[in-house]
Amino acid sequence: MNYNETQLIAIKDFLYKIADDQLIIGHRNSEWTGLGPLVEEDIAFSSIAQDKIGQAQHIYEILHSLGEADADTIAFTRSAADFKSCHLVEYPIGEYDFSLMRNFLFNHAEKIRFEMLADTSLEQLGKLARKYRGEIKYHTMHADTWVKQLGRANEESHARMQTALNETFNLALGIFEESEYAGELKKMGIFEGEVILQQKWIEAITPILEAATLVIPDKNTWQPVYGGRKGYHTEYLEPMLVEMGEVFRLDPKAEW
Amino acid sequence: MSSIDPRINRLNLPENNDGKEVLDELEQWETYEVFHQKKRGDQHVHVGIVHAANPELAIIMAKEAFGRRRQTANLWVVKSSAVTATDYDDQDIFETTPEKTYREASDYYCMDRIRKYQQEHGIKDRKEDRRKKKESV
């Protein structure tokens, strides 16, 4: 399919934000590797992190086919202002409750986004969305099971999970920061829009949080943390990028 | 403690941590036995154990620990405490005296009779077919 210049900008913007979210949360989650609360969970969480980075790589490859740099260059050499990821994913890993809750909120948004993309007119992306279905299903199963367990286990775990939810919720709403190209994407049949995604997301997480006896913050207090999609980030992203790209930049021409 | 891994340094571990900290009781989870099925219809085969707080989490852990790098159709998890086992002290109950090999399956030669019956009645030997197919490949 041939796209005009505006359309191409809209598509690239859309792909960058999806892949950047996955790369950054994937890298953050990988920071738990070797430090997880028990070896089985260490393996599971690391594997999920790896999946996310793999998904990002495939989307960067689509971008490459649309004229952008290759995946490694995209991932490891851009500065923070070039990243379109939301603030939720860039925060440091914190305690395990924070990382679990962030992953829970993110995974559900990702799962629904990819469901919506299963029949997108951007065929390369649709193919990936269908391919990742199983992977992302497991990611949400993992998150749901933990949230339900810790939400109900004892007073401390419940309090920690509720605090984590309170801390991450407005950040998670930032996932749904609408793009200035939303109309263009909808017109091309690529994506229905962040408003619908957010609505479906609330519907998906509500019963699980209820089962976990956790309470979503009152709607009057919602203050979505926007900016990430336009390249404005927290102080945490740049140092993370420096660390993430350190080895790559030693020798960008190296064969891996 | 100083490490080349920046994540380790961020933990601010004490200098003299000998790694012998004792876990609290709540951190000691039960174990679950994991059974792996390769293809639908195959037997579930015991592959190992996982630690987990409940059966659902045991499934989540088992999926990555045992289903990640091999073909998998299905997993079972069973609380280790639910398994009743023989005692190794009683291992001698499995011994058979050499004179009683007629009690063992290997002592019986009957495939020729089974094949003859199958041929006479036009029954296909699927196992034999599969074997031949494998050999021809």
Give the 3-state secondary structure of chain B.
CCCCCHHHHHCCCCCCCCCCCCCCHHHCCEEEEEEEECCCCCCCEEEEEEEECCHHHHHHHHHHHHCCCCCCCEEEEEEHHHCCCCCHHHHHHHCCCHHHHHHCHHHCCCHHHHHHHHHHCCCCCHHHHHHHHHHHC
User: A210 phi and psi, to 5 degrees?
Assistant: -60, -45
The answer to whether residues B115 and B129 belong to one domain is yes
**B57 belongs to a structural domain:** yes
Q: Which helix (H) or strand (E) holds A95?
A: none
Mutate to test the interface with B, among A46, A95, A104, A145 (most CBs of B within 10 A): A145
In contact, A52 and A23? CB cutoff 8 Å = yes
In Å, how far from its chain's centre is CA B40?
16
Report the SS3 class of residue A218. Answer: coil
According to the model, what pLDDT value does residue B17 have?
A: 58
Looking at B82, B111, B127, which one is the last position of a domain?
B82
**Residue A107 is encoded by which pair of tokens?**
């995974």
Q: Kindly state whether residues B48 and B10 are assigned to the same domain.
A: yes
A236 touches chain B (CB under 8 A): no
CA angle in degrees (0–180, nearest 5) for B49-B54-B58: 35
* pLDDT tens digits, one per residue of A99-123: 999 999 999 999 999 999 999 999 9
Cβ of residue A27 closer than 8 Å to a chain B Cβ: no
Give, for all 137 residues of chain B, the pLDDT tens digit.
577 777 777 777 776 656 666 656 666 789 999 999 999 999 999 999 999 999 999 999 999 999 988 999 999 999 999 999 999 999 998 887 777 777 777 777 888 888 889 889 988 877 777 777 777 76
Residues of B with CB under 8 A from a CB of A: 5-8, 11, 26, 29, 50-54, 56-57, 59-61, 63-65, 68
For residue B61, with 0-12 CB atoms within 10 Å meaning exposed, 13-18 middle and 19 or more buried, which class applies?
buried
Statement to judge: residues B46 and B66 lie in one domain: yes
The residue ranges of chain A whose pLDDT is under 70 are 1
H helix or E strand, kind and range, residue A246: helix A237-250
CA dist B88 → A253, B91, B94 (Å): 59, 5, 11
Asked whether the beta carbons of residue A145 and residue B52 sit closer than 8 angstroms, the reply is: no
Give me the pLDDT at residue A130, please: 95
The reply to whether B1 falls in a domain is: no
Residue B30 lies in a domain: yes
A38 inside 8 A of chain B by CB: yes
Give A146's contacts in chain B (Cβ within 8 Å).
Answer: 57, 60
CB distance A35–B7 less than 8 Å?
yes
Compare CB distances from B63 to A138, A146, A243 and report the shortest one's residue: A138
Our CA dihedral for B34, B39, B40, B45, rounded to 10 degrees, sits at -30
Q: For A179, left (φ over 0), alpha (ψ -120 to 50), or beta?
A: beta
pLDDT at residue B27 in the model: 64
**Radius of gyration, CA atoms only, chain B:** 26
pLDDT on residue B73: 97
CA distance A144 to chain B (A): 10
**Tokens linked to A229:** 């999609």
Query: What was the pLDDT predicted at B8?
Result: 76
Which of B82, B98, B124 is the C-terminal boundary of a domain? B82
Residue B59 and residue B95 in one domain:
no
For chain A, domains (ranges, CATH) are 5-218+226-250 (1.20.1260.10)
**Residue B78's beta-bridge partner residues?**
B33
Closest chain A residue to B55, measured at CA: A145
| CATH number (domain holding residue B27) | 3.10.20.520
Give chain B's domain count.
2
- Give the range of the structural domain holding residue B108, as residue numbers without chain letter: 88-136
Determine contact, residues B33/B17, Cβ cutoff 8 Å: no
Closest-CA distance, B85 to chain A, in angstroms, reads 25
ipTM (interface pTM): 0.86
Work out the minimum CA distance from A46 to partner chain B, whole angstroms. 10
> Which of A40, A149, A243 is closest, CB to CB, to B65?
A40
Tell me how far apart the alpha carbons of residues B129 and A46 are, in angstroms, rounded to a whole number: 44
Find chain B residues with C-beta within 8 A of A40's C-beta. Answer: 50-52, 61, 64-65
B20 located within any domain = yes
State both tokens at B19: 């790694």
Residues B98 and B71 in one domain: no
Beta bridge mates, B45: B36
Q: Are residues B117 and B132 in the same domain?
A: yes
Q: Across the interface, which of B7, B51, B56 has its CB nearest the CB of A38?
A: B51
Whether A149 and B54 lie within 8 Å, measured CB to CB: yes
